[in-house]
């Protein structure tokens, strides 16, 4: 949201999340900013947004639509608040971020590959619980009535030294993977060990890390 606010200083930005914690964190980020008056926050469900029809030029969703039983309904609700001619953009992971060397000197080499396998297993099971969606995201946007569908790939990379914000994000992201139910107990222990700040095994204290991430953004016009 901060990037949108900085880019469109003459406009209005509405930030919505079902999590009260996420909304409070966003408010805290903007509390001392000169952009705070242009950002309005809402604690609400994306499927029931407290926003008027045809209000915005752009609706942006990042890593959210996959949680819905019917992602087409989610995209339809985003399109509802966009003016004719405006766009809906859906961001999805194309390649899960990689941070660690193949061998980190602790545990068995290749831990990130096993993390990805555990995540994929969980994700497939979770999607089956919600219901299968047997088509790609361009079709989701088309079924929601959007036109002029575009698929844009974004590549991000950064090497050490990381900024304090980057370090915090990468630490939380890596440590959070220890909660994956399909990950072996020894792998979970390794993750907790290498993400504990201030210890000799703290991976984020290394100076030889390189983070890469690829995301796909699916864009459609209302």
pLDDT band at 172 (very low <50, low <70, confident <90, very high): very high
Per-residue confidence (pLDDT) for residue 83, from 0 to 100: 96
Per-residue confidence (pLDDT) for residue 196, from 0 to 100: 96
- Average of per-residue pLDDT across 52-76: 91
- Average of per-residue pLDDT across 157-182: 94
Q: Is 160 exposed, middle or buried (0-12, 13-18, 19+ CB in 10 A)?
A: middle
Which candidate, 161, 144, 155, 157, places its Cα nearest to that of 82?
A: 144
pLDDT band at 156 (very low <50, low <70, confident <90, very high): very high
Per-residue confidence (pLDDT) for residue 192, from 0 to 100: 95
Per-residue confidence (pLDDT) for residue 32, from 0 to 100: 75
CA distance 141 to 195: 38
111-130 vs 185-194: helix axis angle to the nearest 10? 120
- Average of per-residue pLDDT across 147-152: 96
- List of domains in the chain: 45-221 (3.40.50)
pLDDT per position as a tens digit, 66-76:
888 899 999 99
pLDDT per position as a tens digit, 203-222:
999 999 999 999 999 999 99
Please, which residues bridge with residue 54 across strands? none
Q: How far is CA 16 from the centre of its chain?
A: 14
Q: Using alpha carbons only, how large is the chain's radius of gyration in Å?
A: 20
Q: Are 1 and 26 in contact (CB under 8 A)?
A: yes
pLDDT band at 1 (very low <50, low <70, confident <90, very high): low
Per-residue confidence (pLDDT) for residue 137, from 0 to 100: 94
């Amino acid at each position: 949201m901060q990037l949108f606010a900085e880019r469109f200083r003459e406009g209005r930005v509405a930030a919505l999340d079902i999590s009260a914690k996420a909304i409070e964190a966003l408010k805290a980020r903007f509390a001392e900013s000169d952009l705070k008056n242009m950002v309005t926050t809402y604690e609400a469900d994306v499927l029931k947004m407290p926003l008027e029809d045809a209000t915005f030029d752009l609706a942006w969703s990042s890593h959210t639509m996959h949680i819905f039983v019917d992602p087409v309904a989610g995209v339809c609700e985003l399109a509802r608040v966009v003016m004719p001619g405006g766009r809906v953009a859906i961001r999805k992971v194309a390649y899960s971020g990689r941070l660690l060397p193949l061998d980190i000197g602790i545990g068995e080499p290749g831990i990130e590959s096993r993390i990805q396998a555990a995540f994929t297993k969980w994700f497939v099971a979770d999607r089956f619980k919600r219901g299968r969606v047997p088509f790609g995201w361009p079709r989701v946007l088309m079924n929601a009535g959007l036109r002029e569908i575009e698929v844009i790939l974004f590549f991000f990379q950064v090497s050490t030294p990381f900024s304090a914000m980057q370090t915090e994000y990468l630490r939380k992201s890596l440590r959070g993977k220890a909660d994956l139910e399909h990950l072996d107990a020894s792998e979970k222990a390794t993750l907790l060990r290498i993400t504990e700040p201030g210890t000799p095994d703290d991976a984020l204290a290394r100076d030889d890390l390189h983070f890469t991430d690829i995301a796909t953004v699916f864009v459609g016009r209302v």
